[in-house]
Amino acid sequence: MSSKAFARRCNALIADKAVWSIPRLDFGRYRGATVARFLIWLDSKVETQRVLNRLVKTFPSFILLEDQSDIPDTGSRPMKLLSIFLQLSSTAEIEDVERSIRDVPGVVAAEVYFPRQNYVYDDWFVERIHSRIRMRA
């Protein structure tokens, strides 16, 4: 979709009051706070819930923890993938956190990203946005 088409559809959604607000978290705005997203790949034989429970216990102040295993993989076997957002006091904590994640039984690999901004779309908004797009199409 072109940026013009997207802008036109967004403006129509706003005008029709289908979208009231979409939160935008700007992590670069706040000093002394580092937000990191860790993508965590699991062994295909491990029980996902066990790893999720261990992560909650290890990082009780997580911002967001999701099981993203239902994302289609291009390979021949299903992929088990978790995503966790953590707020850290500094980037110096990253190595220790990554090591803690990799030490969880069943974790095969972990990769860290430093998002600058995160747009949050609740299911309620997504449902209404899709409904309005279908009505306008």
Residue type at 110 in one-letter notation: A
> What is the pLDDT, as a whole number, of residue 12?
83
Domain chopping of the chain, boundaries: 1-22+121-137, 23-118
Residue 137: its pLDDT value, please?
Answer: 66
Query: What ranges in the chain are assigned the alpha helix state H?
Result: 3-15, 48-58, 94-102, 123-136
pLDDT at 5: 83
Residues 27-84 pLDDT 10s: 555 566 678 889 999 998 899 999 999 999 999 888 888 888 766 555 555 678 899 9
85: how many CB neighbours lie within 10 A of its CB? 19
User: What pLDDT does 102 receive?
Assistant: 95
Between 52 and 4, residue with greater pLDDT: 52
Instruction: Tell me the CB-side half-sphere exposure of residue 63, using CA atoms within 13 A.
Output: 15
CATH of segment(s) 23-118: 3.30.70.60
